[in-house]
């Protein structure tokens, strides 16, 4: 492939890259001559195009996404199961449980690094994502008797549960998407649904199956300037030159790409560091895995006709600053994939009884209260060898998790559970602990000594280089990171256009 030149090159076409590409292409211009921008959107994975018809899907995506599981002959995921390697990225296999930022999240973002990411400043971005992703409460017709019972009991006990929200259109609620399977009907909202078609309409060139090996950075006197991208596709190498380079490769791949490019902490053992920033790959916030508490009931809690993929949720704080915030998620009487139901702690040992359990959908008599410490006390960092390491003082996290278990047991007992399991499952927070919804590996901030990009998403140290994905968010929010990340990206697009692509 021949070398190319663009006004803007965006690396990564997952949740953030398509949003930036679409917004900049539609509303930005070349600041020197006022002409339409030339924009390249690159991704390491394939692109499965087709007209987006929610509830029907395109023929190509229906064929590719049907029964797609881990271990498929083509690897569409990175080592981390939450980072998809394809155009559309993790927006194609997230659960579509849409948890937008809460007031405490905005305050935590500001407190962490001084960013001006207030509720007012992000209001337009949040409204756009709510509209474009069709965020709305889970419909009552997919609710279950068990979920309603949870709501009634939790309210009686003084808690404040509420119906969760989802990001879908024309969904049949089969329930399969909750196992990270991709939606062959295009019902689950994704960046393929709106932002990629808009990007293509305004001339963005999508370049799939292209691996960016490094950003070519010219360094001088401790500072750098990003000049081009060293790319590889189909066994051939080529270069992309761009006036502005925006990285949206995800919370792990963005810092790893920067460090491969010679931009990062001095102790990095890969390529020589040309421009130093000790914060790249550090300060990673997220939610460590914590087991839920399950109950077994005498009567079925659902009919199994629909895959109820969303119940009620509730937030619980023990401190005014919301540190150690808990989220409890209800799932009662929900049909499961056979492989999951067969391994239920309430399933009999394999044999006739187990066969009867599966035949009679015994899983519908079980329910779970998921527990998540959404504001934990630990942090991850990328070590000199490129591996994630979890550390910190975990006492608050463990304390809040145990409190959450007691809350869950109290609710299950009052709901009438005949058997409760999960109270004694150990929680081991070690350097090898994995997590979810991680952010902050290239966090934004006002002080270059504690952050990587400024309030306008520009690198503190390298000219022409910007970052616009989850890695810039200073603290994890109160739920999953998909829609908050998308909202921040819409906000980022406005600031980037104002400073760089306006005549």
Same domain, residue pair 118 and 214? yes
Tokens of 174: 């089969």
Same domain, residue pair 123 and 93? yes
pLDDT confidence of residue 308? 55
Average pLDDT of the segment spanning 85-112: 92
Residue 116 covered by a domain: yes
DSSP sequence for 312-353 = EEEEE-SSTT-TT-EEEEEEES----HHHHHT-TTSPPTTHH
Residue 19: is it exposed, middle or buried by C-beta count within 10 angstroms (0-12/13-18/19+)? Answer: buried
Q: Are 17 and 196 in contact (CB under 8 A)?
A: no
CATH of the domain at 488: 3.50.50.60
Same domain, residue pair 319 and 274? no
DSSP, collapsed to helix, strand or coil, labels residue 48 as coil
- 422 pLDDT above the threshold of 50: yes
Nearest-angstrom CA–CA distance, 247 and 28: 18
Same domain, residue pair 268 and 353? no
Same domain, residue pair 25 and 118? yes
Residue 14 covered by a domain: yes
Same domain, residue pair 218 and 90? yes
Q: What is the tens place of the pLDDT at every residue in 424-482?
A: 998 989 999 989 999 999 999 999 999 999 999 999 999 999 999 999 999 999 998 99
DSSP sequence for 131-157 = HHTTEEEPPGGG--HHHHHHHHHHHHT
Residue 305 covered by a domain: yes
pLDDT confidence of residue 265? 96
Give the confidence band of 67 by pLDDT, cuts at 50, 70, 90.
Answer: low
Q: Are 120 and 82 in contact (CB under 8 A)?
A: no
Same domain, residue pair 52 and 161? no
Same domain, residue pair 71 and 191? yes
Average pLDDT of the segment spanning 300-315: 79
Q: What is the tens place of the pLDDT at every residue in 245-282?
A: 999 999 999 999 999 999 999 999 888 999 999 999 99
Count of domains forming the chain: 2
Same domain, residue pair 114 and 203? yes
Q: What is the tens place of the pLDDT at every residue in 126-178?
A: 999 999 999 999 988 888 999 999 999 999 999 999 999 999 999 988 777 76
CA atoms in the 13 A half-sphere facing the CB of 228 = 9
Could you tell me the residue range of the domain that residue 21 belongs to? 4-134+182-285+437-500
Residue 426 covered by a domain: no
- 78 pLDDT above the threshold of 70: no
pLDDT confidence of residue 257? 97
Query: What proportion of the chain, given as a percentage, has pLDDT over 90?
Result: 76
Residue 384 covered by a domain: no
Residue 164 covered by a domain: yes
- Listed range (62-76, 404-418, 443-457) with the worst mean pLDDT: 62-76
pLDDT confidence of residue 72? 42
pLDDT confidence of residue 71? 43
pLDDT confidence of residue 131? 97
pLDDT confidence of residue 70? 45
Q: What is the tens place of the pLDDT at every residue in 180-227?
A: 678 889 999 999 988 999 999 999 999 999 999 999 999 998 899 999
- 77 pLDDT above the threshold of 60: no
* Long-range contact set of residues 401-406: C-beta below 8 Å, sequence gap at least 24: 401/290, 401/326, 401/371, 401/373, 401/427, 403/318, 403/326, 404/290, 404/316, 404/326, 404/328, 404/371, 404/373, 405/293, 405/371
Work out the mean pLDDT of the chain and round it to a whole number: 91
Between 308 and 147, the higher pLDDT residue: 147
Q: How far is CA 68 from CA 60, 113, 171, 184, in A?
A: 13, 41, 19, 10
DSSP state of 168: B
- 114 pLDDT above the threshold of 80: yes
Q: Are 40 and 8 in contact (CB under 8 A)?
A: yes
Average pLDDT of the segment spanning 9-32: 97
Same domain, residue pair 68 and 191? yes
Residue 108 covered by a domain: yes
Residue 147 covered by a domain: yes
pLDDT confidence of residue 61? 86
Phi first, then psi, for residue 32 (nearest 5°) are: -85, -40
Tokens of 122: 């992000």
pLDDT confidence of residue 54? 92
Same domain, residue pair 458 and 446? yes
- 15 pLDDT above the threshold of 50: yes
Between 291 and 305, the higher pLDDT residue: 291
Phi first, then psi, for residue 329 (nearest 5°) are: -120, 130
Nearest-angstrom CA–CA distance, 360 and 310: 23
Nearest-angstrom CA–CA distance, 342 and 344: 6
Q: What is the tens place of the pLDDT at every residue in 337-393?
A: 787 888 889 999 989 999 998 988 888 999 999 999 999 999 999 999 989 999 999
DSSP sequence for 69-131 = -TT-SS--B-SSTTSB-STTGGGGTS--B--PPPHHHHHHHHHHH-----TTTTHHHHHHHHH
Same domain, residue pair 223 and 251? yes
- 289 pLDDT above the threshold of 50: yes
CATH of the domain at 361: 3.30.410
């Amino acid at each position: 492939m021949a070398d190319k030149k663009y006004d803007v090159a965006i690396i990564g076409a997952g949740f953030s890259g398509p949003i930036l590409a679409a917004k900049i292409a539609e509303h930005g211009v070349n600041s020197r001559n006022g002409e339409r921008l030339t924009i390249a959107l690159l991704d390491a994975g394939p692109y499965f195009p087709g007209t987006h018809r929610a509830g029907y899907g395109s023929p190509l995506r229906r064929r590719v996404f049907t029964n797609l599981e881990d271990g498929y002959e083509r690897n569409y995921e990175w080592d981390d199961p939450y980072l998809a390697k394809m155009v559309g990225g993790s927006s194609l296999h997230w659960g579509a449980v849409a948890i937008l930022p809460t007031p405490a999240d905005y305050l935590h973002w500001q407190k962490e690094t001084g960013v001006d990411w207030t509720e007012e400043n992000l209001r337009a971005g949040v409204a756009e994502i709510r509209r474009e992703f069709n965020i709305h409460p889970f419909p009552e017709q997919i609710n279950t008797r068990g979920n309603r019972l949870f709501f009634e009991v939790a309210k009686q006990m003084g808690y404040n549960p509420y119906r969760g929200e989802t990001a879908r259109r024309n969904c049949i609620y089969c329930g399969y998407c909750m196992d990270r399977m991709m939606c062959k009907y295009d019902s689950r909202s994704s960046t393929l649904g709106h932002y990629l078609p808009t990007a293509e309409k305004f001339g963005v060139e999508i370049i799939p199956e292209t691996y960016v090996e490094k950003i070519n950075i010219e360094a001088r006197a401790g500072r750098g300037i990003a000049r081009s991208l060293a790319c590889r596709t189909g066994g051939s190498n080529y270069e992309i030159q761009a006036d502005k380079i925006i990285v949206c490769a995800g919370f792990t791949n963005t810092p790893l790409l920067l460090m491969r490019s010679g931009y990062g902490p001095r102790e990095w053992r890969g390529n020589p560091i040309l421009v130093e920033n000790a914060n790249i790959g550090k300060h990673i916030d997220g939610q460590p895995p914590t087991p839920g508490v399950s109950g077994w009931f005498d009567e079925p809690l659902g009919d199994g006709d629909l895959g109820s993929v969303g119940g009620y949720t509730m937030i619980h704080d023990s401190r005014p600053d919301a540190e150690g915030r808990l989220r409890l998620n209800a799932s009662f009487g929900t049909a499961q994939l056979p492989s999951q139901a067969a391994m239920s702690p309430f399933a009999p040992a394999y044999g006739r009884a187990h066969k009867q359990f599966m035949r009679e959908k015994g899983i519908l008599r079980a329910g779970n209260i998921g527990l998540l410490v959404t504001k934990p006390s630990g942090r991850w960092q990328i070590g000199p060898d490129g591996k994630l390491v979890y550390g910190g003082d975990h006492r608050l996290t463990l304390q809040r998790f145990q409190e959450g278990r007691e809350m869950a047991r109290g609710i299950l007992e009052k709901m009438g559970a005949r058997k409760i399991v999960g109270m004694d499952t150990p929680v081991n927070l070690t350097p090898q602990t994995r997590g979810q919804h991680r952010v902050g590996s290239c966090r934004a901030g006002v002080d270059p000594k504690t952050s990587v990009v400024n309030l306008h998403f520009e690198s503190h140290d390298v000219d022409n280089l910007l970052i616009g994905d989850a890695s810039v968010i200073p603290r994890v929010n109160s739920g999953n990171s998909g829609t908050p990340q998308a909202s921040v990206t819409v906000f980022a697009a406005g600031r980037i256009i104002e400073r760089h692509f306006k005549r």
